[in-house]
C-alpha cells in the first residue's frame, strides 16, 4: 500500500502539471474499446497501477489497482481458491475499465455486472482530487458507464467467491429462439437444470435454426479435460459435444484464444495455419491490435471490392423480447454466430448511467463483424437500425464501440441529467471529455 500511495501522489503531480485546456488521456499500451480515434502523444502514465495489492481469503476480498488486467487478477485469486464474481471474457480487460465501462460473463445471471461486486473505489476525479467512495456515494453509483469522463479508478476493493478445480459443460441444442429463450428463463430462475446446480450459463446462435445454451457446473473431479488454447477451437466444440470439462482457469478464458470466433478473419482457425502460429499469439489483444492497424492503414478497404460497415456491438435485451430481436437481426444484419449471455442486476438500487430494471432478466446479445453495405446505405446506417430496434424492444446498448445517437437521444437513454450533475461536481472545469463527446463523437 505504501508503493500505491506513492504512485497516487506521483499521478496527482502529473495531472496538476497538464496545462488547463489540454486534453487529459491515459497512456495505455492496450485497449478493448472499438471507438478508434487518432493517437495523442503523452497522457497520464498509469503503468504503476497494474498490480493486485492484496487478497484476503478470510473476507473474500481483494485490493486491486485500476489498471490491473483480469488475467493477472485471476491468477492472483485462483492461488487462494477464489475468483472475482464476474470475470469478463477477455484477458486484457482491466478492472478499472470493467468498472467505468461495462463487463459481463456467464456468471452474470446470478452475480450481475462486474461493478456490482465492488465495495469501494479510489478515484482520481476530473478536478484532480483523489476520493474514496462506496455504495452510499453518488460518484460510486454514477461511475459505471462513465468511461473515464468523471475520473479514473486507482484502487478497487472487490468481492470474491470460491472456485472448484473444474467446470463441467453441458451444451443444449435448440431449433428456434423461442424454445431456447424459454429454457434460458427457467434455468436462470431455478439456477439449476434437471436437478443439477448451474453456476454459469451462456449461449451461441449459429443460425435461425441452430441455438445452444452452455451450462457450467463447478466440479472437484473431472474424467478428462479439453484444451482450447492451442489447435482446438472452443466455439466449434459447442456444436460437436454435449458434455465437456475444463479447468477453472481454462473455463474463464475459453473465449480469449479465438476472441470468441473473430480469429477466423485472420485465418488462424485453418488447421495448417493454426499449427504454424505460436501459441502466445493466439490471444484477443493480438487480434485487436491487428484490427487497429487495419483501421489506421485502410488495407482491407483498399483490397475489398465492396464497402463494409463494422457492426461490433453488445446490447441488453429483455429476455421475453430476444426472439423478436434475433428475427430482426437475422433479417437485417445476418452476422453469425451471435453470443447470448443472461444478466440480472444484483443491486436493486441500480446504476443511473445505464438504467436497467433490476427486476428484469436481460440477455446480452453480442455480435462482432462487418456487413456489406446495400446500394442505398451509408456507413453507420446498419448500426443506426440496430440502435432503433434495441430501443423499441426496451433494451440498452453498451458504449465501447461505434454509436450514432443524436445528443437528445443519448441524453435520454443514458440519464444525461444525472450525468451532467455528476460532471459539474467532479469535473467542474471540463478537463476530461464529456460522455457524448467520448462515446459518440470519439473525442
Q: Any idea where the domains of the chain sit in the sequence?
A: 2-163+424-439
Specify the CATH class of 2-163+424-439 in words: alpha beta
61-103 pLDDT per residue, tens: 999 999 999 999 999 999 999 999 999 999 999 999 999 999 9
Measure the CA–CA gap between 216 and 232, rounded to whole angstroms: 19
**Is the separation of the CB atoms in 400 and 101 below 8 Å?**
yes
Q: Is the pLDDT of residue 241 over 80?
A: yes
What's the pLDDT score for residue 443? 64
Q: Is the pLDDT of residue 42 over 80?
A: no
Average pLDDT, the chain: 94
Measure the CA–CA gap between 125 and 424, rounded to whole angstroms: 11
Q: Is the pLDDT of residue 44 over 90?
A: no
**In this prediction, what percent of the chain has a pLDDT beyond 70?**
95
What's the pLDDT score for residue 43? 78
296-316 pLDDT per residue, tens: 777 666 666 568 899 999 999
Across residues 232-258, what is the average pLDDT?
98
What's the pLDDT score for residue 297? 79
Q: Describe the crossing of helices 322-332 and 177-190 by its angle, rounded to 10 degrees.
A: 140
316-349 pLDDT per residue, tens: 999 999 999 999 999 999 999 999 999 999 999 9
What is the model's pTM? 0.94
What is each CA distance from 59 to 56, 161, 174, 396, in whole angstroms? Answer: 6, 10, 41, 34
380-392 pLDDT per residue, tens: 999 999 999 999 9
Measure the CA–CA gap between 326 and 328, rounded to whole angstroms: 5
Which residues are registered as beta bridge partners of 364? 316, 341
**Is the separation of the CB atoms in 311 and 386 below 8 Å?**
yes
Across residues 22-29, what is the average pLDDT?
77
Q: Is the pLDDT of residue 41 over 60?
A: no
Across residues 419-439, what is the average pLDDT?
96
Judging by beta carbons within 10 Å of its beta carbon (0-12, 13-18, 19+), is residue 308 exposed, middle or buried? middle
Q: Is the pLDDT of residue 39 over 60?
A: no
Amino acid at each position: 500500500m505504501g508503493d500505491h500511495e506513492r504512485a497516487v501522489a506521483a499521478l496527482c503531480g502529473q495531472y496538476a502539471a497538464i496545462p488547463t485546456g489540454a486534453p487529459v488521456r491515459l497512456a495505455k499500451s492496450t485497449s478493448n474499446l472499438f471507438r478508434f480515434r487518432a493517437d495523442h502523444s503523452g497522457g497520464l502514465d498509469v503503468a504503476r497501477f497494474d498490480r493486485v495489492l492484496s487478497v484476503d481469503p478470510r473476507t473474500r476480498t481483494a485490493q486491486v489497482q485500476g489498471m490491473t488486467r483480469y488475467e493477472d487478477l485471476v491468477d492472483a485469486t485462483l492461488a487462494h481458491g477464489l475468483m472475482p464474481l464476474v470475470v469478463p471474457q477477455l484477458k486484457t480487460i482491466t478492472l478499472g475499465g470493467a468498472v467505468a465501462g461495462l463487463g459481463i460473463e456467464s456468471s452474470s445471471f446470478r452475480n450481475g455486472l462486474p461493478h456490482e461486486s465492488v465495495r469501494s473505489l479510489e478515484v482520481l476525479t476530473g478536478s484532480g482530487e483523489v476520493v474514496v467512495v462506496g455504495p452510499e456515494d453518488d460518484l460510486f453509483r454514477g461511475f459505471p458507464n462513465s468511461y473515464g469522463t468523471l475520473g479514473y479508478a486507482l484502487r478497487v476493493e472487490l468481492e470474491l467467491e470460491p472456485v472448484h478445480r473444474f467446470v463441467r459443460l453441458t451444451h443444449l441444442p435448440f431449433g428456434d429462439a423461442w424454445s431456447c429463450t424459454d429454457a434460458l428463463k427457467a434455468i436462470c430462475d431455478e439456477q439449476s437444470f434437471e436437478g443439477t446446480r448451474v453456476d454459469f450459463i451462456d449461449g451461441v446462435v449459429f443460425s435461425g435454426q441452430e441455438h445452444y445454451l452452455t451450462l457450467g457446473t463447478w466440479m472437484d473431479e473431472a474424467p478428462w479435460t479439453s484444451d482450447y488454447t492451442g489447435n482446438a477451437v472452443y466455439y466449434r466444440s459447442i456444436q460437436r459435444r454435449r458434455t465437456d470439462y475444463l479447468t477453472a482457469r481454462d473455463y474463464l478464458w475459453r473465449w480469449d484464444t479465438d476472441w470468441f470466433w473473430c480469429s477466423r478473419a485472420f485465418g488462424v482457425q485453418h488447421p495448417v495455419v493454426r499449427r504454424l502460429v505460436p501459441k502466445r499469439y493466439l490471444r484477443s489483444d493480438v487480434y485487436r491490435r491487428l484490427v487497429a492497424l487495419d483501421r489506421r492503414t485502410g488495407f482491407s478497404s483498399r483490397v475489398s471490392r465492396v464497402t463494409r460497415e463494422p457492426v461490433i456491438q453488445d446490447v441488453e435485451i429483455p429476455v421475453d423480447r430476444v426472439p423478436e430481436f434475433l428475427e430482426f437481426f437475422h433479417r437485417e444484419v445476418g452476422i453469425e454466430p451471435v453470443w447470448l449471455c443472461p444478466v440480472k442486476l444484483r443491486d436493486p438500487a441500480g446504476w443511473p448511467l445505464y438504467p436497467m430494471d433490476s427486476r428484469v432478466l436481460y440477455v446480452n446479445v453480442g455480435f462482432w463483424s462487418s456487413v456489406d453495405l446495400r446500394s442505398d446505405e451509408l456507413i453507420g446506417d446498419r448500426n443506426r437500425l440496430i440502435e432503433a430496434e434495441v430501443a423499441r424492444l426496451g433494451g440498452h446498448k453498451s458504449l465501447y464501440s461505434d454509436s450514432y445517437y443524436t445528443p437528445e437521444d443519448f441524453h435520454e437513454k443514458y440519464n444525461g441529467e444525472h450525468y451532467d450533475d455528476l460532471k459539474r461536481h467532479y469535473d467542474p472545469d471540463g478537463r476530461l471529455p464529456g460522455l457524448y463527446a467520448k462515446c459518440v463523437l470519439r473525442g
